[in-house]
Structure 1
Amino acid sequence: MPDSKKAIEVSGLSFQYPDTDEKVLKNINFSVDHGEILGIIGPTGVGKSTLAMCINGLVPQVISGELEGKVYVKGMDVHQGNVAKMSEHVGFVFQEPENQLSQMTIEEEVAFGMGNLGVPRKEMEPRIKDALQQVGLSGFEKRSPLALSGGQQQRLAIAAVLAMRPTILIMDEPTSMLDPKGKNEVYSVLRNLKDYGMTGIIIDHEVERIAEYCDRVLVLSEGEIQMLGTSSEVFTEIEKLHELTLHAPQVTEFLYQYNREFDQELKLSTKLEESIKILESAYKGV
């Protein structure tokens, strides 16, 4: 039986695409608490996006294949419902925002998804206002989405999802196509969503940001969970990450190399300020 106290529960999940020889996901088991942000990292092509699409029902209802196991969202079996119904609970933001944008104005863009859900026009207006405010785009209602920067477009894509009022947000490499300014804009929105108590799953190669914003980190490789723990637990297992062709945040890698170079056993940290204090204490002790 699913645990209704969990926002997401994945049990024995395996999936294989048609006309392929091997499963892309193999016996995946994990859960996500309400209000928790889970980061998913791993080498390219190991099934991270497939796993995300299993959680909102796109796999296998839209993208076909052979699926085993169960996925529950708020106690509901994802694969017993339909994708449209699940979109009321799970919002999905893809890596290329322009692929999600299709309307002439920003307010029409935010209204589009709500229209598909049958939200009355009178109810749409306050939702549009609230969603744009959450992503820092208030006052942009009449502009064209095409006139926005990449970071702004991604924030608009998030606003369109938020307006549908899901309690869970999945972001699949939301900053991979953006410059540093755009990345900062998107992750500042994520910080606000966490303050709202929203549950989130973020797939990203930006390990510094994953370490900073995520409560726990799941490491996927060859279709299997290789590591799962807090950001600190995962990113301080440097040698294991290196075996998986991954790396920790730069400051953690620096401390690791410092220990190797000078035969030290300094504590590894993912946080810059804490790492500076660790190094200062080490130098004072010399």
Structure 2
Amino acid sequence: MPLIEFQDFSFKYYGADFLALKKISFSVEEGEYLVITGPSGCGKTTLCRTINGLVPQFHRGYIAGNVIVDGKNTRDNSVAQLAQTAGLVFQQPENQLVTLNVEKEIAFGPENLGIDPIEVRRRVEELISLLELEHLREKHPHEMSGGEQQRVAIAATLALKPKILVADEPTSNLDPKSAELILDIIASLNKRDMTVVLVEHRLDLVSKDASRILLMNDGRIVADGPPREILTLDLCQEIGVGVPKATMVYKRLLQHGLHLKQVPLTGEDLALLVKEAARS
């Protein structure tokens, strides 16, 4: 059974004139790394909110179809219940940081669930180590850089031990170095068997790690498949999705009759494939 399953799901916020999501159907298996991308306003954030129950439990509106997360229908389970299965990291990390220092922030969720204090302490120490937060342990989250805040938000989300990490454009306000660090952390979590659903526009940094890319436009899924398949579609450029430079070069080479063995996703891939083609 899929870990996440959208079944012909549509949603319109109360007061809106249009559907935010239109007949969405797809599934995510345990251990997958799904990247969702598309132009601004295409429904990506609403889709993320749906996985952890914020839609429809907090954001109300017209709803049709179902979303099943780890066997639970999001219509029938609270956000608190679903948070232990699907943890959501927001685009603006400061919006979900509520305590006075990093230790307390990570402990906040488990403590509110009544988890044994010894286990809470173990989780705090494990996550401080995993996300390299030792030097920030006593610091107020609002005194940190955006990248540091995002690492704390990820740690606080992971403290609930969710099966799924849902991250909604976690690098949107970060410099390139901080963005790469956050995306490396997310990729490493997936390598530890965590299921990841990531909304991201920096496809040059994430496509090499993703299992699949889901392309959205105007509230609909317009393409879904492996990165090497999706990123060569002309549709990406047509709707304004930025394709990795290496993939763009591949397409230009193809137009000039040079066929590489596979689609490159990084500069390193491209260099190796061109060398191979030159030798053959």
Normalising by the residue count of structure 1, what TM-score does the alignment of the two structures yield?
A: 0.92
Q: For 1:185, which of 181, 185, 202 is the aligned residue?
A: 181
- Partner in structure 2 of residue 143 of structure 1: 139
1:171 aligns with 2:167: yes
- Structure 1: which amino acid aligns with 2:50? C
- Structure 1: which amino acid aligns with 2:195? T
- Partner in structure 2 of residue 233 of structure 1: 229
Runs of 4+ in 1 over 6 A off after TM superposition: none
Question: Can you list the C-alpha shifts for 1:202-237, whole angstroms capped at 9, x where unaligned?
Answer: 001111123022110100101111100011111122
* Deviation for aligned residue 1:89: 0.8
- Partner in structure 2 of residue 242 of structure 1: 237
Question: Can you list the C-alpha shifts for 1:158-210, whole angstroms capped at 9, x where unaligned?
Answer: 00011111111100000111111211221121122112211110001111123
1:271 aligns with 2:231: no
- Partner in structure 1 of residue 2 of structure 2: 6
- Structure 2: which amino acid aligns with 1:268? V
The percent identity for this pair of structures is 35
- Partner in structure 1 of residue 217 of structure 2: 221
Unaligned runs of at least 5 residues, structure 1: none
* Deviation for aligned residue 1:13: 0.5
Unaligned runs of at least 5 residues, structure 2: none
Aligned pair count reads 279
* Deviation for aligned residue 1:269: 2.0
Normalising by the residue count of structure 2, what TM-score does the alignment of the two structures yield?
A: 0.94
Q: Is the 8 Å Cα contact of residues 91 and 168 (structure 1) preserved in structure 2?
A: yes
- Partner in structure 1 of residue 112 of structure 2: 116
**d(CA) in 2 for partners of 1:131 and 1:54?**
26
**d(CA) in 1 for partners of 2:121 and 2:273?**
51
- Structure 2: which amino acid aligns with 1:216? R
- Structure 1: which amino acid aligns with 2:178? G
Question: Can you list the C-alpha shifts for 1:110-136, whole angstroms capped at 9, x where unaligned?
Answer: 111222322232321111111222212
**d(CA) in 2 for partners of 1:12 and 1:233?**
24
**1:87-106 equivalent positions in 2, closer than 5 A:** 87-106=83-102
Structure 1 range deviating more: 247-256 or 45-54: 247-256
Q: For 1:67, which of 63, 68, 89 is the aligned residue?
A: 63
Q: For 1:254, which of 241, 249, 252 is the aligned residue?
A: 249
